Each structure stands twice: as structure tokens, then as C-alpha cells.
Amino acid sequence: MPKVGIVISNYNGWQDTLVCLDSLQKQTFTDFEVILIDDASPNDSVAQLQNKQCHCKIHRRQHITVYLHFSPPALPVSCFIVIPHVQKKRSKHGSSSLTFCPQIFIMVTERSVAKMQEKERIAHIISELEKLYPQDLCSLQYRIPHELLIAVRLSAQCTDARVNQVVPALFAKYPSIEAFAEADVADVEEMVRSCGFYHTKARDIVEMCKMLRDEYGGVVPDSIEELTRLPGIGRKTANLICGDIYGQPSYVCDTHCIRITNLLGLTTSKDPYKVEMQLREKIPPEKSTGFCHRMVLLGREYCIARRPQCIRCPLRPYCPGQTAEKIKTS
């Protein structure tokens, strides 16, 4: 976010406004944002400014027309606001002043400040998590891509610890995608029974391996779209595979991540898809995979659903919720 916010008012003087914008572009200090406001000029100021500087879309909202600006290179103008029906007042000294709606300025200014503050807070949260948990590896045991895919499927409504007890024997008996594809579902059921929902999980494992063999040449796909075509695979698992196997930005929204990011004020929903989309807007892509893994670790050690350790939690200074009872995991 820019450090400096500049508000420029225009009334019938689009030529002077262009000179001002041109001067700003020539500054060596570039960490600033410009908001250009036209006070319902009766001449063609809006058209001239829009044509010459502000290549933008127009969105109407009540009595305000907001031009959202798509900045050309090096042009700092971020948006263009037109406030109609605003009168110019003239003082007894003959100088004029503009009567604007103060809430417009407050809204724009506070939004910019809030975004900057949130960005800094998120950076602190990520830094604290990285210091607390230097290793951001998945806690499930696997050696090759399809083993992680299967382990994650087994982890649904089951602890990673339990899955890690089951998979060594499972992967020893079925060492390849081909072996799983040819497996008897009933045999797989017996081996994964302790993970819960074993009928569904065993069927999904065998069917997904058949699909991997027949449609993907025995290679685990590297995109969320392709991964979610596999039986039993949703966006959470697909994100995990993309992040841990292929090194892509990934936003794994499990119950820990959903609960804690709600408490931290980073997300406002309990729906995994909505949480993922909100995190994609706030967590830098290069930090996303580690951030989500560390959410799980924090949830197990400090932000425990039924008995949160708020007093001891390293993220307490950045947590507006602090009382975890306010948000329950769905």
C-alpha cells in the first residue's frame, strides 16, 4: 500500500489538473496514491480527464459515480470520483471552497489505511508463524505423489496420526497406482477400517487410481481442476497436492485454517471455498502453502478448538478475537 495518499479536487479546470498529474508523475518519490475528485463540473472536465488520463470503467452507486482506474505504467491515479449536486460556497473574502460529503473522504481514507494496517498485520502473523514453526511440511507420511493423495483422502474425519499408522502397511501391499487400481475394494476396506468411513474411502481410493491409470497415464495431475475430477478429491486435497508436490501456491482450508483465520479476522466465513478465496486475496502466493501448514500446527498446539491457549499464543497481539469460543468450527 502507498505511504502517501493525495486527494486532488477538480472543478472546471481539467487543464490545470492534468498539469498537476503530470508533475506528480515526475516525482522521484513514487510510493503514493492519488484520488481525483470532480465537484460536478458543468463543463466537459470529466470527459476530458477520462479521455486523457483515466482509462476506466464506470460503476454507479447511489448518487456517486466512481471511475475505477486501470493505471497505465507509472500513472499513480487509482480512482476517479464524481459527486453530483455539490454546491460551491464563496467566502466573504471572495475565495471559494468546496462542500463535499465528508463521509466520502473518510471512507476512502479509512479504507486505504485499514488495508495498509491489515497488510502489515498479516506480514507480522506470517513472520511469527515462520519463527514458531520453521518447518512447514505436511504431517502425513508419503514418499511419492499418489501416496499423499491417498493419505489425504484417508485423513478426512480422522487424525493424521492414525493415518500414519495405517499407510505403511497399505503402501507396502499396494506399491503403485496400478496395484491400487487392481485391488479388491473389500481388502482395502479392511486395511483402512480404523480411519473411519472405510467403505467410501476404500472405494474412492481404488476408483481414483483406476482413473489415474486410464486417463492420466499413472501421473497425478498438477491442477486443481484436474485433481477435483478424481473420486473423493475436493479443493482442500487438490490444493495440498499442488502445493506440496508441485510447489504451486496453495490454500489448504481445513478446519484449523478456517477456525483460526476467522479468529484472526482474515476471513469471515466457515465455508471452505469462501475462506480459500478470501485468503487468496490476502496471503502472498509464495507464503500460502507454509501459512496453511502452520495454521494446522498452531491449531494443535495453541488455538485448540475446545480449549484455546490464548494467553500463551504467540499470535495473541495480532488476534482481534482472542476468545476462541466466539467462533466454533463447523
How far is residue 262's CA from residue 319's CA, in Å, rounded to a whole number?
10
Residues 9 and 92 in one domain: yes
pLDDT of 229:
96
Residues 19 and 156 in one domain: no
Beta-bridge partner residues of 322: none
Which helix or strand (DSSP H or E) is residue 81 part of? Answer: strand 77-82
Residues 239 and 151 in one domain: yes
Grid cell at residue 316: 495473541
106 is a domain residue: no
257 is a domain residue: yes
- Name residues of the chain where pLDDT drops below 70: 1-6, 24, 27, 29-35, 38-41, 52-116, 321-330
Residues 240 and 258 in one domain: no
HSE-up (13 A, CA, CB side) for residue 202: 20
Q: CATH number, domain at 218?
A: 1.10.340.30
- The pair phi, psi for residue 109, each rounded to 5°, is -65, -50
25 is a domain residue: yes
pLDDT of 125:
94
Q: pTM above the 0.75 mark?
A: no
pLDDT of 16:
77
Residues 47 and 84 in one domain: yes
Domain end (from 244, 268, 299): 244
- The pair phi, psi for residue 90, each rounded to 5°, is -115, 130
89 is a domain residue: yes
Angle between helix axes 185-192 and 160-173 (nearest 10 degrees) is 140
- Whether the CB-CB separation of 214 and 238 falls below 8 Å is answered with no
Angle between helix axes 145-154 and 198-215 (nearest 10 degrees) is 160
| Cα torsion 209, 210, 216, 222: sign | negative
pLDDT of 104:
32
Residue ranges of alpha helices (H) inside the chain are 14-25, 45-52, 102-132, 145-154, 160-173, 177-181, 185-192, 198-215, 224-227, 235-244, 255-263, 272-282, 285-301
Q: CATH number, domain at 279?
A: 1.10.1670.10
Q: Give 87's DSSP letter.
A: P
Structural domain count, the chain = 3
C-alpha separations of 324 from 129, 259, 307, 328 in Å: 18, 9, 8, 8
pLDDT of 107:
30
13 is a domain residue: yes
How far is residue 303's CA from residue 154's CA, in Å, rounded to a whole number?
24
Residues 200 and 186 in one domain: yes
Domain end (from 181, 213, 244): 244
Domain end (from 184, 213, 244): 244
161 is a domain residue: yes
75 is a domain residue: yes
pLDDT of 38:
66
HSE-up (13 A, CA, CB side) for residue 76: 26
Residues 256 and 280 in one domain: yes
Residues 128 and 209 in one domain: no
How far is residue 324's CA from residue 84's CA, in Å, rounded to a whole number?
46
114 is a domain residue: no
Q: Per this entry, what is the length of the chain?
A: 330
pLDDT of 319:
85
Residues 149 and 237 in one domain: yes
Domain boundaries, position 257: 123-132+250-326
pLDDT of 12:
75
> pLDDT tens, 21-48?
777 677 676 666 666 776 666 788 777 7
Residues 179 and 266 in one domain: no
Residues 228 and 264 in one domain: no
Distance, CA of 309 to chain centre:
26
Residues 168 and 223 in one domain: yes
pLDDT of 52:
64
- The pair phi, psi for residue 242, each rounded to 5°, is -60, -40
